[in-house]
Amino acid sequence: MPIEVSVRRLPFRLLSGGVLLLFALFFVLPMVWLVLAATKTDQQLVHDNPLSFGSLHALKHNWDALTAFQDDAIMMWLRNSALYAVVSLVITVGVSVPAGYALAMTTFRGRRTLLVATLVVMLMPNATLVVPLFLELNAVRLIGTMWSIVLPYSFYPFGVYLTYIYFSTAVPKDLLAAARIDGCSEFGVFRRVALPLATPVVALVGFFSFVANWTNYFLPYVMLPADDQMPVQVGVGTLLSSVPSFNPTVGELAVERPQLALATLVAITPVLIVFLFAQRFLVSGMLAGATKE
């Protein structure tokens, strides 16, 4: 009987294996090519096997050329990105977690309207909000400052929704009621009971906020006119426009394609490091609320 079941499932396993292999090739091959491209010269990138390794000497040359571009601009862009992402992350966690708790655990007039508004804003593409945000920030004279990037991404509807779902489903309401009976204020219940239980979802909100801010391109491109304020994503766009293959009018400050590939790897490395260190909390956060009390 087990053999018959196994034979019956064989076509499904072959199909699922083929689909997984296709997705692996689709997502993994470009990353492998990007890593290997950083180890080649521009000529090797064009003429050699796309998946061949170049040399450590070429990698060092590309790194030296990249750091020499506009007097080590890549490091300045990384520092800017880190500053914007970390400040936004702190404000996001400080706003989203209490807001999600309030929506889940308290009853007040306008609660349903706020929840619907949160869902609507969460589903809107970020690009649609750039023009109204620009007009608002221009009215308070924040264009060209760090706060024109930090504030719009600090109020994170997706983070509010995640914490709302977590507190609604994963935190026992009887436990919170017991704390109130013992004399805890509402803030004390949140700080002493609910918040320690919410560590996984706080980590999840923090990670998504960090990634959203680190990979943000369009908003900084519009809000920050000065080159020394650019985050790394906008900086990589500047490097792209300095590659002769994509912009034939480039003069002396030309950037070769392997150096652009190396800059892309440098830009995504912080997100990868954060993911590797936080993945245990991320898995817990994604499973939080999967079962009801």
Average pLDDT, the chain: 83
Q: Give alpha helix (H) positions in 186-231.
A: 186-189, 195-197, 199-214, 218-223
* pLDDT tens digits along 72-131: 889 999 999 999 999 999 999 998 888 888 888 888 888 888 888 888 888 888 778 888
pLDDT at 14 over 70: yes
- Segments making up each domain of the chain, as ranges: 2-55, 67-287
Q: Measured in whole angstroms, how far is the alpha carbon of residue 36 from the centre of its chain?
A: 24
Beta carbons of 204 and 281 less than 8 angstroms apart: yes
Please state, in angstroms and rounded to a whole number, the distance separating the CA atoms of residues 230 and 220: 7
What pTM was computed for the model?
0.82
Three-state secondary-structure class, residue 139 = helix
CATH superfamily of 67-287: MetI-like (1.10.3720.10)
Please state, in angstroms and rounded to a whole number, the distance separating the CA atoms of residues 67 and 254: 13
Please state, in angstroms and as integers, the Cα–Cα distance from residue 154 to each residue in 89, 145, 199, 272, following that order: 7, 15, 19, 21
Low-confidence winner among 45-59, 141-155, 164-178 (lowest mean pLDDT): 164-178
pLDDT on residue 283: 62
